[in-house]
């Protein structure tokens, strides 16, 4: 039995260029400039934001470090004074939000 385990180690993959795969992944990331929203888009976003309450299921498209991301989950917290909302464990600044959709459960 031990002999088979030792033999299996011989055939494990070998990364001859340590860190090369991570470097390739970093090259695949394309930075996207932040898009300013039009007046109509801002009004629609503001209208949706006013309807938000903790516990709602929402999908949010937001900007973070050069890319846009989409997160879907329960709205854990919203603080209109500090202009932050939290979806599960992700905390988002209102200024980085491009779109919000309230999902039906």
pLDDT at 16: 66
- CATH number for the domain spanning 75: value is 2.30.30.520
Q: How far, in Å, CA of 35 to CA of 37, rounded? A: 6
Asked if the structure places residue 50 within a domain, the reply is yes
Q: Which domain does 48 fall in, by range?
A: 31-103
In a domain, 15, yes or no: no
Q: Is 4 part of a structural domain of the chain?
A: no
Residue 96 lies in a domain: yes
**Pick from 103, 95, 101: nearest CA to 37:** 95
| The model's pTM | 0.68
What are the two backbone dihedrals, phi and then psi, of residue 36, each rounded to the nearest 5 degrees? -75, 140
Each residue's pLDDT tens digit in the chain (105 positions)? 566 666 666 665 656 677 777 777 766 666 778 889 899 999 999 999 999 999 999 999 999 988 899 999 999 999 999 999 999 999 999 999 999 999 876
In a domain, 48, yes or no: yes
Residue carrying structure tokens 């860190």: 19
Is residue 22 a part of any domain in this protein? no
The pLDDT score that the predictor gives to residue 34 is: 85
Burial class for 87, CB neighbours closer than 10 Å (0-12, 13-18, 19+):
buried
> Is 65 part of any domain?
yes
Number of domains the chain contains: 1
Give pLDDT, residue 30.
65
Task: Note whether residue 18 is domain-resident.
Answer: no
């Amino acid at each position: 039995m031990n002999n088979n385990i030792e033999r299996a180690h011989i055939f494990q993959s070998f990364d001859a260029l340590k860190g090369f795969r991570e470097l390739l992944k970093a090259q695949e990331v394309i930075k996207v400039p932040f898009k300013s929203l039009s007046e109509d888009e801002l009004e629609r976003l503001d209208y949706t934001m006013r309807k938000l309450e903790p516990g709602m299921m929402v999908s949010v498209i937001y900007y973070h470090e050069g890319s846009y991301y989409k997160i879907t989950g329960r709205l854990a917290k919203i603080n209109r004074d500090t202009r932050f909302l939290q979806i599960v464990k992700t905390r988002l600044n209102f200024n980085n939000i491009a779109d919000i959709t309230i999902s039906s459960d």
